[in-house]
Structure 1
Amino acid sequence: MTNTETRPDAFVCGEGGLPGPLAACEGGVPVEIITAREVPLGGPRAINVRRTLPQLQRSLIGAWCFVDHFGPHEVADTGGMDVAPHPHTGLQTVSWLFDGAVEHNDSGGNAGTILPGQMNLMTAGSGICHSETSTPEADRIHGVQLWVALPDEVRHSPERGFEHYVPEPVEFDAGTALVFLGSLLGSRSPVRMYTPLVGAELRLDPGGVLALPVEPGFEHGLLVDTGDQVRLEGVHIPEDALGYTGVGAQILRVANEGDRQARLVLLGGAPFGEEVLMWWNFLGRTTEEITRYREEWQNHGERFGEVVGYVGHGGPGRNREGMSRIPAPELPPVQMRPRRNPPPHAQFNG
């Protein structure tokens, strides 16, 4: 998925000290609330996505650097998802659907249909481009799109990787889990990672409580997709928001006090030790790198290749607005200002 903001902010993701909205925990580890901001994805009939990372208050959870949450959208009302070819550098994209179907094509020659409960991970390395389009059979589109920052030793790799994984459900007393990355509840994903991470969908029954064993060296974020009475360590996490806990917890207590099943996405990882500059769809380390990536994309450079097989909602090779690829926004006319990630601990108001 692309960042379609016409004036995207630049984020330098690393250690720092920015305060943010906070919540005090009741008898457990502290929890910080990260609320979402709405961003349109596409043109005049764009679907809106709810973005919880990156934010001014926090840019990274482990190496997770981007969290977009979308839907449920009725395709008949919105036209569905139609993201024309667009570039990426220095990251991996993780696509996870709750409803619908999305056709993926990338310049590594990889193509396939993303379905609910099936993880698709694309590794950009030094450069890739791809398209994402909801299929004609999809009546509804609903899910998350996630980015993972690549460490310096692998981000220049020319490999354009793609992995597909269908996790088996893990049953626990109050619900089920689908572990699509890393290890949790005795389930381990075989998908290759370059930094220690975990990613899972959790479904928690009404009235259910889960004492979730987690890696104490990880920081974690819990995104609430559905469930208006979800509590993490006693702290209410509103729908569409993300509850953040820093490192040190061995157990995270999650409760669903509502009368319907809650669906949650748990993301975690070891704090990312590198400073990462993020602008639009590019991850780099300096303004000069980002400038070069943008110029190469605009000039159809070999770094990104070409997508073959994109069929948009405007016909073969075109989206609804008639574009065959998404142009990069204009760069700000100044050196990009750093936005540094706070230490890996929940922050408190005051």
Structure 2
Amino acid sequence: MSAGSGPRVVCAGDEFISAELLAAAMVAELDRFGHTADPVPIDSRWPSEPFDDIDGVREAAGDPARLAELVTGADALITHLAPVTAEVIAAGRGSLRVVGVTRGGPVNVDLAAAADAGIPVVYLPGRNLGAVAEYTVGTMICAMRGLPAAAAELSAGRWDGTGFRYERVGLELRAATVGLIGLGAVGLRVAELLAAFGTRVLAHDPYADPAAAEGVGARLVGLPELLAGSDVVSLHARLTEHTRRMIDAAALAAMRPGALLVNTARGELVDSRALDAALASGRLRGAVLDVFDPEPPSADDPLPRRPAVFATPHLAGASRQVAEESAARIAREVATVLTGGTATHLATPPNRVA
């Protein structure tokens, strides 16, 4: 690509990270390298319309046939969750030099098709770690103090002063022990925030860096010790066959009576029926649930309706900073590849196949 040329970049946005935001970031990044850009915008209506599994890719929104038309002859494609299917990859074969995805995991991309076509896929691990960590600590405080249920009572016209009874009041974070299951980017940031409150932090993660854990004041322990010793158990693990339903009836029974469970990771980490039973029995104080299995939860799922559950519709990672910074970061990664460099996070091999 010669100086002054304008690579054609398809910017497939949505109502969170818009095509306009992606295009502006792409223009700014290529300008730094002395190039103009030719952005081609297209937006889906997510989240007003839900994402879905489409033609072999997950959590995607948009029309793959229309996207295939646009990527034909394009140099790059950047997106949040457009369906980058085998059809789209085939349409871009021979011209598409990079696909950029503003997500921690490019599940909306057919990585096998991209690798076969020699098209590198770049993505953004930890892109929303600040937002998720703040949500985790904020909702932890609210749930420990019983604030969601109290607010709902007042909204319904009932003044419940019994929240001041000793048996109902909760702990302050400075007096609590919080157990983090998973000490990746988000878990480490949660631990950093908790340190400011004086919280005792336990962590369980077979792959954690002991030095990193020590640096944020977290003590690495086995899962049984974490469950038994924590006032709050917060999930930050990746979903694998090993971690699926790891919080089952036995794990919930091992938790400290009156503890709180927080899940901002994946709904499949928790056995929802077992959790409902633990809440119904009064063994757990409550739960903060931002993720469900399935999503959205079924109409007859009792968990979102429980007063002891602070339930939100997968919003932990939603902030203006996530949208703006993700657009800027993915534009930087894509511009690096377009100008002959190697991106930081590659889901597929970096070198194209002729």
Q: Normalised by the size of structure 2, how large is the TM-score?
A: 0.27
Higher relative contact order (CA 8 A, sep 6+): 1
The structure where helix makes up a greater share of residues is 2
